[in-house]
């Protein structure tokens, strides 16, 4: 049996986070959108690109947003993996859209979201109180199970593939555990630099559209080790063959305007990996 390394750093977002308190709901939520999941991106305030996020309407009068949320509370950086808000009102507009009144802030330098607008039961927008700023845009995620299992890599980019930490990786959902393997030049990455080293396997977890996992970088590895795993947060798109990815780890090789030659992928664009 292959030796498995359980790298729990991929759950750094969860272990360091506390959910916001849930207030008493004021208005009963309708059957739709209760218990639905939505996927897309935030407005990008404070980030190099629009980061991925997912939203889940709960069975009570609340909804929870998942992602990598950075705040500065009392001048101290605070990272949350989820934030929960109360639905204060819900009605249907003359144009058929569903309007949900709420109050949630998703960025340390962005304003609060006061309204959610659902169009054709397929698209969801977060809008500021003055209706001038789109704080997030999401699409309905299918209710049926979509698995991340399989082989993934970045988009074609400059004769290779963007997002080298994730090109190429394999999500293996063989029971009883789910692990990620990494391929370099057609060969599986070992646990060490030794040719006979067992294949590296790093724990990942999928919850609905969300995937908590690790990428792999061979740039500036720690002494005595042939590579370094870095935590990533992924959100599957409704098609199931694309995943938006994000990391705030210092080792992650993702677009940054400091890199004017864009070695890791197009600046300003939400990183997306594709199943192949």
Q: For 18-45, what is the mean pLDDT? A: 70
Q: For 237-262, what is the mean pLDDT? A: 96
Question: pLDDT tens across 184-211, in order?
Answer: 989 999 988 788 889 999 999 999 999 9
Contact predicate 173/149, CB 8 Å: yes
CA dihedral 58, 61, 67, 72 (to 10 degrees): -150
pLDDT on residue 14 = 39
pLDDT on residue 15 = 40
Q: What architecture is the 30-140 domain classified under in CATH?
A: Beta Barrel (2.40)
Say if residue 134's pLDDT is above 80.
yes
Q: Which two tokens stand for residue 160?
A: 């290779």
Q: Which of 42, 63, 60 is nearest to 51 (CA)?
A: 42
pLDDT on residue 174 = 87
Alpha helices in 8-60 (DSSP H): 12-15
Q: What is the number of alpha carbons within 13 Å of residue 244 lying toward its C-beta?
A: 21
**What's this model's pTM, rounded to 2 decimal places?**
0.87
pLDDT on residue 94 = 96
pLDDT on residue 222 = 66
Is the model more confident about 143 or about 208? 208
Output the CA angle 143-16-147, nearest 5 degrees: 25
Chain-centre distance for alpha carbon 15: 16
- The confidence band for 224, taking pLDDT boundaries of 50, 70 and 90, is low
Please give the DSSP secondary-structure letter assigned to residue 13: H
Question: pLDDT tens across 54-90, in order?
Answer: 999 999 999 999 999 999 988 899 999 999 999 999 9
Q: For 23-51, what is the mean pLDDT? A: 80
Rg (alpha carbons) of the chain, rounded to whole number = 20
Contact predicate 127/119, CB 8 Å: no
Alpha-carbon distance of 125 to 30, in angstroms, equals 18
Domain-wise residue ranges, the chain = 30-140, 145-275
Say if residue 51's pLDDT is above 50.
yes
% of the chain residues with pLDDT over 90: 71
% of the chain residues with pLDDT over 70: 87
pLDDT on residue 212 = 98
A 10 A CB-CB count for 105 gives 15
């Amino acid at each position: 049996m292959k030796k498995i390394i359980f790298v729990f750093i991929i759950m750094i977002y969860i272990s360091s986070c506390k959910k916001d308190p849930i207030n008493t709901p004021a208005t009963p939520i309708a059957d739709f959108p209760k218990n639905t999941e939505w996927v897309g991106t935030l407005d990008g305030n404070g980030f190099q690109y629009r980061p991925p996020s997912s939203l889940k309407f709960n069975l009570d009068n609340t909804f929870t947003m998942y992602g990598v949320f950075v705040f500065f509370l009392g001048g101290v950086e605070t990272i949350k993996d989820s934030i929960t808000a109360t639905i204060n009102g819900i009605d249907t507009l003359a144009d058929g859209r569903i309007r949900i009144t709420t109050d949630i802030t998703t960025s340390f330098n962005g304003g609060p979201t006061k309204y959610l607008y659902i169009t054709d039961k397929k698209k969801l927008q977060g809008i500021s109180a003055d209706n001038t700023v789109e704080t997030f845009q999401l699409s309905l995620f299918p209710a049926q199970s979509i698995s991340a299992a399989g082989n993934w890599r970045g988009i074609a980019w400059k004769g290779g593939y963007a997002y080298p930490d994730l090109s190429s990786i394999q999500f293996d959902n063989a029971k009883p555990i789910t692990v990620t393997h990494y391929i370099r030049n057609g060969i599986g990455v070992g646990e060490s630099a030794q040719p006979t080293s067992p294949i590296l396997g790093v724990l990942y977890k999928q919850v609905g559209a969300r995937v908590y996992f690790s990428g792999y970088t061979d740039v500036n590895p720690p002494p005595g080790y042939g590579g370094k795993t870095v935590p990533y947060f992924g959100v599957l798109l409704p098609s199931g063959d694309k995943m938006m990815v994000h990391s705030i780890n210092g080792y992650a090789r993702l677009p940054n305007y400091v890199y004017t030659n864009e070695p890791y992928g197009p600046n300003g664009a939400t990183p997306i990996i594709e199943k192949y």
